Amino acid sequence: MKKTILIFFLFIYNYLSAQQIASEDWKTDLNFLKTELTKKHKNLFFKISKQEFEKGIDNIINDLDKDNDITTTIKLTQLIAKIGDTHTNLKIGHLLKKRKTLPLGLMSFKDGFYVSATSKSNYEILDKKLIAINNYKIETIIDSLKTLFVPENIGIINENSPKLIPKHILLNHFGFSTPEESTYTLKLADTNGNITSYNLNEINIPSGRNRDKIYMKVNTQRPFYMNGSRKIFKEKYFPKEKIYFVQYNKCVSKETIEKYGNKEFAYRYPSFKEFETKVLKELKENPEIDKLIFDMRFNQGGSSYLAENLIKEIANNENINKKGKLFVVVGSKTFSSAIFNTVNFKKNTNATLIGEETGGKPNHYGNIKKFTLPYSRITVTYSSDYYQLNNRNESTVTPDVLLERTYKDYKNGIDPIFEYVKKQ
């Protein structure tokens, strides 16, 4: 099952007040969407009624003559979000040629949103906690941004919000700035709680690699879970702690691309079969291993079947499959197929689930398919199946041990998960 990221406005900006797509063409697209999505989705009206959905489409159509393309697209995105399916959304970046944003990368921590990236000329704001923009509290801004996606749990909110907050077109649309505004007043706090104001100018989003960008740095050596975190999967034995650490960042491999994707590019991906063999060999032949960490905190999905056999073999390992020996890590990025693997561990092993609440939930719609609107060329993704993994109506998977990442731990290169497991 493929995972579609629910971020619709990474590339939004357009100053034009007039339509670029003719109203009649928008009307054709909207009616086409109304018909096709109703027909193709597994169960489109599980949350929103058919009457409410159709009225929402009609209201957008009635406003076409006064709304520009951006406003129409935002309204449509809000309507799609009301459906309540995190896998059903729109891809609209191609519509927007002029792009503006604040040079403001943000990371979510237990203690708030911190500036993790900016342009070199704004180095002063790096590592500061963002409290407000133009005197609007971040919480107030997020309340508006939440209408653009399905905010069914804190994990999804914490993942989507940092990417949406810097977008000028959204700040403008929701009334937190004006169309002509290009300088924004940020309220920031340092680690000592000192509050300062800073004027930040918006920029054009670079089309290629941004060499003017600087990033938050860790003060010491990066912990294993962060070092090489872009790898699809990796493993390491820590002899001093007698901990075997397996990190599973994507449910994707050479095998899944050969089976479901473009076989021509399969060679670019590592083999999970080879990785699995290596992990099982280490577990079998290394008698010093006392604990196993299976980390899926960054895993946003792919093909859930990929790790099924490995989980089964871990469940059959009598030395590891014990409370206090086996730890499964999840977080706000854990989504889609990774939720299948998480529930598999919960049901079939004695693992202790540790970390943050997941972005995905056990019972959900998925198996994504798509179609394209004829005139706007918007791609609509939708769910063609429903997966019920338990009998409870849970909006997230809550870990047995809740350990939320703090800014201080991140800066000091501390993995609270590893530190907790060491002490058990």
Identify which has the larger pLDDT, 6 or 346.
346
Cα dihedral 333, 335, 341, 343 sign: positive
User: Would the pLDDT of 221 be above 80?
Assistant: yes
Tokens of 338: 């990774």
C-alpha 50 chain-centroid distance: 28
pLDDT in tens, 68-103: 998 999 999 999 999 999 999 998 777 655 568 899
Tokens of 263: 């076989």
Mean pLDDT of 45-73: 96
DSSP 61-91: HHTTTTS-HHHHHHHHHHHHHHT--TT-EEE
Given a contact cutoff of 8 angstroms between Cβ atoms, the answer to whether 325 and 288 are in contact is: no
User: Would the pLDDT of 10 be above 60?
Assistant: no
Looking up tokens 């960008």 gives: 213
Q: How confident is the model at residue 177 (pLDDT cuts 50, 70, 90)?
A: very high
Q: Is 132 helix (H, G, I), strand (E, B) or coil?
A: strand
How many angstroms separate the CA atoms of 311 and 364, rounded?
A: 22
The residues, any chain, with a CB within 8 Å of residue 354's CB and separated by 6 or more, are 327, 328, 329, 330, 399, 400, 401, 403, 417, 420, 421
Strands, E, within 86-176: which ranges? 89-91, 100-101, 104-109, 112-119, 129-133, 136-137
Choose among 330, 334, 109, 359: nearest CA to 216: 109
How many angstroms separate the CA atoms of 232 and 251, rounded?
A: 8
Cα dihedral 316, 321, 327, 328 sign: positive
Burial code of 315-354, b = ≥16 C-beta within 10 A, e = fewer? bebeebbeeebbbbbbbbbbbbbbbbbbbbbbeebebbbb
Cα dihedral 53, 59, 61, 66 sign: negative
Q: How confident is the model at residue 17 (pLDDT cuts 50, 70, 90)?
A: very low
The edge-to-edge listing of strands for the beta sheet with 89-91 is 89-91, 379-387, 364-372
Q: How confident is the model at residue 14 (pLDDT cuts 50, 70, 90)?
A: very low
pLDDT in tens, 309-344: 999 999 999 999 999 999 999 999 999 999 999 999
Q: Kindly report the pTM of this predicted structure.
A: 0.90
pLDDT confidence of residue 181: 87
Percentage of the chain exceeding pLDDT 70: 93
